[in-house]
Amino acid sequence: MCESTGAGDMTAELSFTVGDLASMRFAVSPMWEVGPSLRLLASRQAHPVHRPWVEQVRPRVAAAGLDRGWLAELVPPSGYVPDFINPAPAGPAPTLADELAAIRATPAERVRRDLDRLRARRGGGLGPRLRALYADPATGLVRLTEAVEAYWDVALAPYWARIRALLDADVLHRARRAAEHGTASVLNDLHAEVRWAAGALRLDRRPRGLDRRTAGSGLLLIPSAFTGPGLFTRVAPPDPPQLAYPARGIGTLWAARPGPSSDALAAVLGRSRTLLLIELAAPASTTELAHRTGLSPSAVSQYLTALRDAGLVSAHRAGRSVLYARTAAAEAVLAPLARAGMDR
């Protein structure tokens, strides 16, 4: 079940066989960013790390009506989240489309079982949309995944290149640590509430016990930008148990980065296109970019189209406007220029 640690004082122990260790793996999962980020937006509390993201995204989410409806009913402020919205990633880096397809393929009996658990944990009834999902899972899952996709486009897709880079760096670091120091060192370094000892993984402050006989084999470790400060676990056999933990370096995720020296890049892309790339340190609309750069909206639109065709910019629908964001390729182009600027 998708639950956060920290809701109780139990220490859960998950035993490992040689086979479990051999099948332990990492994965980067878009859906593991959806639920925790929704909770952060709904909390209305200032966050020391994610505040810049919250201030940009919360008005867009509210304007699109995504702070209520399907997602608000499915993801409560705390406690259990239905397991079917976090399907076990089949590979190391599934796309959102892959995970939404897996959600839509969830058997009706699993959907109803998870909703029964959610109703029991809440101590009350389900909302109207979840009642419709319970009555007709096939149709309801389509509506639910449409809501997830709309939320993703507004809240996460424009920032995904930056988030994904953070998550990939975490996996690379831990893979290197495993090669140099062994698997036990990796598990002991995941989180203060996780300890490896005597062939078992111990999770402190977990609200319920953990039994390998009913948890499935192996272990799936999932770094997350929005999970934290605690851990989230998902136990839904026959899938391997999932452990989502805060990725390394989250504190720098939204930090302002040194501006690159634009002269070299401008010689290739042109000064106006380079200026727009630099301004897209945070996703923005054509109107915002025109206001900040002094370029006309039509010129901004023309340059953004060229940058998009070159794979340096992506576009994401946010209500009636379109947000533009730098792609991973653009970040890779700008990174050495930024470092060169720091060295001067």
pLDDT digits over 51-81, tens only? 999 998 999 999 888 888 899 999 988 888 9
Q: What percent of the chain has pLDDT over 90?
A: 47
264 pLDDT higher than 80: no
Query: Are the C-beta atoms of residues 22 and 165 closer than 8 Å to each other?
Result: no
Q: How confident is the model at residue 342 (pLDDT cuts 50, 70, 90)?
A: very low
Question: How sure is the predictor about 48, in pLDDT bands with cuts at 50, 70 and 90?
Answer: confident
Greater confidence, 202 or 9?
A: 202
pLDDT the model gives residue 272 = 87
**Confidence band (pLDDT; 50, 70, 90) for 321?**
confident
123 three-state secondary structure: coil
Lowest pLDDT segment from 145-149, 150-154, 253-257: 253-257
Whether 308 has a pLDDT exceeding 50, the answer reads yes
Residue 322's pLDDT is 87
Instruction: Name every residue whose Cβ is closer than 8 Å to that of residue 297 and which is 6 or more positions away in sequence.
Output: 286, 287, 290
- How far apart are alpha carbons 38 and 48 in whole angstroms? 17
Amino acid at 339: R
- For the cut 80, the answer to whether the pLDDT of residue 2 exceeds it is no
Q: Kindly list the distances between the CA atom of residue 125 and the CA atoms of 79, 116, 172, in Å, as whole numbers in the listed order.
A: 15, 10, 44
What is the rounded average pLDDT of the residues 296-315? 91
pLDDT, average across residues 177-200: 91
**Up-side HSE of residue 292: CA atoms within 13 Å toward CB?**
17
Give the pair of three-digit tokens for residue 290.
Answer: 């025109």
The answer, yes or no, to whether residue 165 has pLDDT greater than 70, is yes
Given pLDDT bands bounded at 50, 70 and 90, which one contains residue 261?
low
User: In angstroms, how far is CA 49 from the centroid of its own chain?
Assistant: 15
Q: What is the mean pLDDT of residues 36-46?
A: 87
The per-residue pLDDT of the chain, averaged, comes to 86
Q: Looking at 8-22, 106-120, 123-137, 199-213, which range is the least confident one?
A: 199-213
| Helix 96-104 and helix 137-151, axial crossing angle in degrees, nearest 10 | 160
Query: Which DSSP category does 159 fall into?
Result: G
Closest CA to 224 of 188, 253, 200, 185: 253
How far is Cα of residue 193 from the mean position of the Cα atoms in its chain?
21
Strands (E), the chain: 3-4, 10-15, 25-26, 194-197, 200-206, 220-224, 232-234, 242-246, 313-318, 321-326
pLDDT for residue 218 is more than 80? yes
5, two tokens: 């640690």
